[in-house]
Each structure stands twice: as C-alpha cells, then as structure tokens.
C-alpha cells in the first residue's frame, strides 16, 4: 500500500501525531510524509484565528499535491478558530487525483470547540474532489506525548481498511 501523510503543525503537536501515523503506515507499505510550511503565517494568535476563521489560503512551499499515485491519503491539521490552518486550506484547493481515494483526516485540538466543524469541512472538500471513503481521528493536545494512546486511536481509524 502506498500512503501519503500531509500535515501542517505550528507548534509541533500535529507533527507528533503525524509521525506516529506514518510509522504505523510504514508497516503496511511505503509512506511519504509532507510537512507543509506556511510562508505568510502571522505570529499573532488573533491574526492566526482571523485568517483561519475566514478560510484564508496560506502561502505554502512547492509541494506535489497530485495524489493519484497513493492508495491512502492522510491529511492533518491543528484546529484553528474552528477551522483548518490556512496551509491546509491551500492544500485542499491544490490537491488533485483524489477520485475514488480513501482518506484519513486527523486533527489536534485544545478545548475541542470546532473540532468536528473543522474535520467536516476537510471531508466535504475532499468528497467534492472525488474521495470516497473517510476515516477520522482527533487527539487532544494534552495527549500528544502519549504514544500508546495515539497508536490506539490511529489503529482504530485504520481498522476500517484492515487489509491495507
Ligand atoms: C491560532 C490558534 C487557534 C486555535 N483555535 C482552536 C479552536 O478553535 N479549537 C480548539 O479546540 N483548539 C484551538 N487551538 C488549539 C490548537 O488546535 C492545539 O493547540 C493544537 O494541538 C496545535 O497543534 P500544532 O502544535 O500542531 O500547531 C488553537 C490554537 C491556535 C494557535
């Protein structure tokens, strides 16, 4: 199975989860990992919230977002103002080759406010681009260092496709 894990992480939590996901997928085949960087991210919390809430598309580095060669596409973001981070919005726009794909959507979050809204938005977007099967999981920020917990959550999410 060929998988790709694409994620954005401002302070490292989502990255930590993405790493565990990639590690587990590596047991099922080849995995590529892309960490998106946002080149125009403001540093202020309020500016970040405003952009995310308005669904701004962040400026990202060159990335190959033709996903046609993968069996499984994984996309992860921190929840920002009930929404994906701006780099992920850009990725949603630019991704191609999603017809008939399986996708794992994952988030990390603080209070949990807007987590479902955020992940629903990503799912709707990828559905419109032709992805057909979704699995989702979310990790609260206090749990990101608990590898055992993350492994269990990832395994639950991947159980939907036991044969890879
Ligand atoms: C700008 C900003 C907005 C946030 N908005 C939310 C939110 O709406 N709901 C929530 O549960 N957590 C929110 N959080 C908390 C983050 O989702 C959480 O800390 C996440 O794990 C950060 O991931 P990262 O370390 O990969 O950047 C916000 C954090 C930031 C910096």
Domain limits of the chain?
2-158
Task: Give distance in angstroms: CA of 9 to centre of ligand 1.
Answer: 10
CA distances from 117 to 70, 83, 154 (A): 26, 7, 20
Q: Residue 18 and residue 5: Cα distance in Å, rounded?
A: 7
Q: Using the CB atoms, write b or e for 25-41: b if 16+ within 10 Å.
A: beebeebebbbbebeeb
> Residue 164: pLDDT above 60?
no
The reported pTM is: 0.97
pLDDT of residue 163: 58
pLDDT of residue 91: 97
Q: What is the pLDDT of residues 24-71, one digit of tens each?
A: 999 999 999 999 999 999 999 999 999 999 999 999 988 779 999 999
Enter the tokens of residue 163. Answer: 């044969």
| 16 ligand 1 Cβ < 6 A | no
Q: What is the pLDDT of residues 94-109, one digit of tens each?
A: 999 999 999 999 999 9
Q: Which CATH number fits domain 2-158: 3.40.50.360, 1.10.3720.10, 3.40.50.1370, 3.40.50.2020?
A: 3.40.50.360
Task: Give distance in angstroms: CA of 99 to centre of ligand 1.
Answer: 30
């Amino acid at each position: 199975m060929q998988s790709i894990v694409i994620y954005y992480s401002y302070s490292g939590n989502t990255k930590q989860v993405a790493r565990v996901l990639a590690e587990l997928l590596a047991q099922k085949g080849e995995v590529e990992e892309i960490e998106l960087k946002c080149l125009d991210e403001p540093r202020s919390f309020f500016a970040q919230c405003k952009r995310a809430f308005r669904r701004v598309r962040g400026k990202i580095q060159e990335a190959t977002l033709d996903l046609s060669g993968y069996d499984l596409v994984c996309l992860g973001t921190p929840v920002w103002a009930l929404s994906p981070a701006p780099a992920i919005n850009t990725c949603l726009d630019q991704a191609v080759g999603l017809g008939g794909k399986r996708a794992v959507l994952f988030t990390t979050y603080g209070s949990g406010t807007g987590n479902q809204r955020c992940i629903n938005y990503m799912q709707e977007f990828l559905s419109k681009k032709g992805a057909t099967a979704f699995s989702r999981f979310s990790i609260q920020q206090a749990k990101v260092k608990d590898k055992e917990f993350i492994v269990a959550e990832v395994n639950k999410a991947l159980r939907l496709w036991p044969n890879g």
